[in-house]
């Protein structure tokens, strides 16, 4: 119980009482210095959204603090003509595919609190979403439940039967996961690239599988038919979708808001969490403007704090708090066990008589499943290259079983947190992917593109879309995400998963959060 009853939580605090509610049920008032709240969630991605929904439904006044913007009522920038809205506080784009035919892809933009952040460490660029909805705003929507045996291998302390009977179905339902109409897929122009990728893989002896998505496939059908405004078919994806996508702001977060107990403070970056003299935790945050400048610094207190800042955000914050002596009792394993989910990108050049389509849906619908191959498990998403013109390129984001891990550490001279992943650690990912794509190239008589990730470079191995770990379940926390030694502090996001899950990760992050928050509400908040 940690000395706090549900009645206290229900009573809320001054901030909760002072908030006015918008039509959607979300409180308009941002947090102010001195506020005391029952539950504060740092970040509004998958882990944060699950915590917010389940806490509010349990009657708890819940405050989300999110460093990015609330994009409700705003528009995202075009993928082909990116502007400041596309990147987080950058004056130049940092496109995952950095060049084509020797021509650099990046362009100058206005510095703004845009939606995609390619956070750059010494040996890896980690792409993350910034905004109310976290990664759901920028991701490809691929909603994949992991292989049961690999989930059990990665998280052996978790009851696998309960995950697959209860929490994965719960997550898939709440996320609005849907399946492409397979008959339509076979004829739709926008999925020619996926059919080409599938047929070439099958002809080389590899199995393929349809991949569910949170993008509304009925909406996409209408896009193809020309009866609605295009989004996935207008090359929109990594800078946000203006239509069609069931991002978290439209699913979990909207449902939490509908309880009338959700309070959201955006453009605020949490910088410190420490025990408060009066009990609970003191949480310090910088309110920023859209140039990234700090407008004011606020400190509030919270009875419970849920870390949902993502694998990188949560790990960085906790490692800094331990090093600065604010949470000195955190486990030495906080900051460890970080990995890239084995991500590596690669492009193949098709023959001129094998077009991949000038119109390509930004939402992938098909994957090559070679995970069962013990010599080098690979699950490769057949990715779009939505340049708006025929390029004859097959692009893939391969997920591999890369055993390498890295750790975050605090640099007291700069006050920043670094990550010691090295470029060499991606070698097993490229090696596993090479076996598959060498075979496909040999069967097709094709070659790799060597111009997409730098000059004369085959592998897009300096980036990841799938940061995982840094605060591993059962090591840095107990078996449900409680931070050891600090009652009332919880981790609920992708940092709990130790570096790899074998498929695109957000369904797993969501389902694990569902499992953990159910236990926490039942035992700590009863």
Residues that bind ligand FAE (CB under 6 A): 42-47, 65-68, 127-131, 134-135, 138-142, 238, 269-270, 308-311, 313, 317, 465-466, 493-494, 504-506, 509
Q: Are 28 and 19 in contact (CB under 8 A)?
A: yes
Which of residues 6 and 170 has its CB atom nearest to ligand FAE in the complex?
170
Residue 410 near residue 320 (C-beta atoms within 8 A): yes
Least distance in Å: CB of 262 to ligand FAE?
15
Closest C-alpha among 46, 374, 386, 15 to residue 191: 386
Rounded Cα–Cα distance for residues 448 and 441 (Å): 8
* Radius of gyration for the alpha carbons in the chain, expressed in angstroms and rounded: 22
The residue from 63, 263, 268, 466 that is catalytic is 466
| Least distance in angstroms from the C-beta of 118 to ligand FAE | 9
Nearest-approach distance from CB 87 to ligand FAE, in angstroms: 12
Determine the angle formed by the axes of helices 46-57 and 506-523, rounding to 10 degrees.
30
CB atoms within 10 A of CB 485: 11
Catalytic residue among 119, 223, 236, 381: 381
Interatomic CA distance for residues 249 and 324, integer angstroms: 34
Q: How far is the CB of 324 from ligand FAE (least distance, A)?
A: 14
Rounded least distance, CB 286 to ligand FAE, Å: 9
* C-beta of 63 vs 261, nearer to ligand FAE: 63
CB of 62 to ligand FAE, least distance (A): 15
Distance of closest approach, residue 341 Cβ to ligand FAE, in angstroms: 8
- Alpha-carbon distances, residue 198 vs 205, 208, 392 (angstroms): 11, 6, 15
Closest C-alpha to 197, from 376, 377, 350: 350
Q: How far is the CB of 466 from ligand FAE (least distance, A)?
A: 5
Alpha helical stretches, state H, 27-107? 46-57
Rounded to whole angstroms, how far apart are CA atoms 357 and 159? 44
What is the C-alpha to C-alpha distance for residues 247 and 233, in angstroms, rounded to an integer? 17
- Of 309 and 472, which CB lies nearer to ligand FAE in the complex structure? 309
DSSP run (H or E) holding 340: none
The span from the CA of 16 to the CA of 262, in Å, is 9
Choose between 392 and 421: whose C-beta lies nearer to ligand FAE.
421
3-class DSSP assignment, residue 134: helix
Measured from the CB atom, the residue of 208 and 350 that comes closer to ligand FAE is 208
Please report, for residues 131, 175, 399, 412, the alpha-carbon distance to residue 251 in angstroms, rounded to integers and kept in the order given: 15, 6, 27, 40
CA neighbor of 300 nearest in space, from 278, 317, 319? 278
Nearer to ligand FAE, 392 or 490 (CB): 490
- Known catalytic membership, residue 243: no
CB 265, CB 65: distance < 8 Å: yes
Burial 263-300 (b: 16+ CB within 10 A, else e): bbbbbbbbbbbbbbeeebbbbbbbbbeeebeeeeebbb
Q: Report the residue number, 308 or 391, with the smaller CB distance to ligand FAE.
A: 308
466 catalytic? Reply is: yes
Between residues 236 and 392, which has the closer beta carbon with respect to ligand FAE? 236
What order do you get walking across the sheet with 463-464 strand by strand?
Answer: 116-120, 125-129, 463-464
| Conformational region of residue 476, where left means phi above 0, alpha means psi within -120 to 50, and beta covers everything else | alpha
Q: Report in angstroms the alpha-carbon separations of 270 from 42, 117, 262, 301.
A: 7, 17, 18, 12
Q: How far is the CB of 418 from ligand FAE (least distance, A)?
A: 16
**CA–CA separation, 513 and 519 (whole Å):** 10
Q: Decide whether 138 or 174 has the Cβ nearer to ligand FAE.
A: 138
Strands 62-66 and 262-266: parallel
Residues identified as active-site = 381, 466
């Amino acid at each position: 119980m940690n000395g706090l009853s549900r009645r206290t939580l229900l009573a809320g605090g001054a901030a909760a009482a002072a908030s006015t509610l918008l039509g959607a049920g979300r409180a308009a008032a941002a947090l102010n210095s001195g506020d005391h709240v029952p539950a504060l969630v740092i970040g509004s991605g998958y882990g944060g959204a699950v915590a917010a929904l389940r806490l509010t439904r349990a009657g708890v006044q819940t405050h989300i603090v999110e460093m990015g913007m609330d994009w409700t009522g705003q528009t995202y920038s075009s993928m082909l003509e990116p502007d400041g809205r596309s990147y987080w506080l950058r004056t130049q784009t940092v496109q995952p595919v950095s060049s084509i035919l020797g021509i650099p892809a990046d362009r100058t933009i206005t510095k703004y609190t845009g939606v995609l952040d390619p956070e750059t460490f010494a040996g890896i660029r980690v792409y993350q979403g910034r905004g109310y909805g976290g990664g759901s705003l920028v991701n490809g929507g691929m909603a994949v439940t992991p292989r049961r045996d690999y989930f059990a291998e990665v998280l052996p302390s978790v009851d696998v039967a309960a995950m697959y009977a209860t929490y994965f179905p719960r997550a898939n339902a709440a996320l609005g996961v849907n399946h492409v109409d397979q008959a339509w897929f076979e004829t739709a122009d926008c999925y020619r690239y996926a059919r080409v990728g599938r047929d070439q893989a099958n002809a080389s002896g590899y199995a393929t599988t349809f991949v569910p998505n949170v993008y509304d496939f009925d909406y996409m059908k209408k896009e193809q038919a020309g009866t609605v405004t295009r989004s996935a078919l207008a090359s929109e994806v990594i800078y946000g979708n203006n239509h069609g996508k069931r991002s978290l702001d439209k699913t979990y977060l909207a449902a939490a808001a509908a309880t009338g107990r959700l309070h959201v403070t955006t453009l605020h970056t949490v910088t410190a969490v420490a025990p408060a003299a009066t009990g609970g935790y003191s949480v310090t945050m910088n309110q920023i403007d859209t140039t990234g400048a700090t407008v004011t610094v606020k400190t509030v207190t919270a009875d419970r704090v849920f870390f949902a800042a993502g694998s990188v955000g949560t790990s960085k914050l906790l490692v800094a708090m331990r090093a600065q002596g604010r949470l000195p009792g955190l486990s030495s394993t906080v900051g460890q066990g970080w990995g890239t989910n084995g991500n590596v990108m690669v492009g193949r050049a098709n023959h001129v008589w094998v077009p991949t389509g000038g119109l390509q849906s930004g939402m992938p619908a098909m994957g090559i499943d070679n995970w069962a191959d013990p010599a080098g498990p690979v699950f490769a998403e057949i990715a779009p290259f939505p340049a708006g013109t025929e390029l004859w390129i097959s692009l893939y984001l391969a997920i591999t079983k890369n055993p390498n891990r890295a750790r975050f550490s605090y640099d007291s001279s700069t006050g920043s947190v670094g990550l010691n992943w090295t470029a060499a650690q991606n070698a097993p990912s490229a090696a596993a992917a090479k076996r598959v794509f060498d075979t496909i190239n040999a069967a097709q008589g094709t070659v790799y593109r060597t111009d997409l990730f730098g000059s004369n470079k085959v592998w897009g191995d300096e980036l990841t879309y799938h940061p995982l770990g840094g605060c591993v379940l059962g090591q840095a926390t107990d078996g449900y995400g409680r931070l050891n030694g600090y009652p009332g502090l919880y981790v609920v996001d992708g940092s709990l998963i130790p570096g790899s899950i074998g498929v695109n990760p957000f369904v797993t992050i969501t389902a694990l959060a569902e499992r953990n928050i159910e236990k926490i509400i039942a035992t700590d908040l009863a």
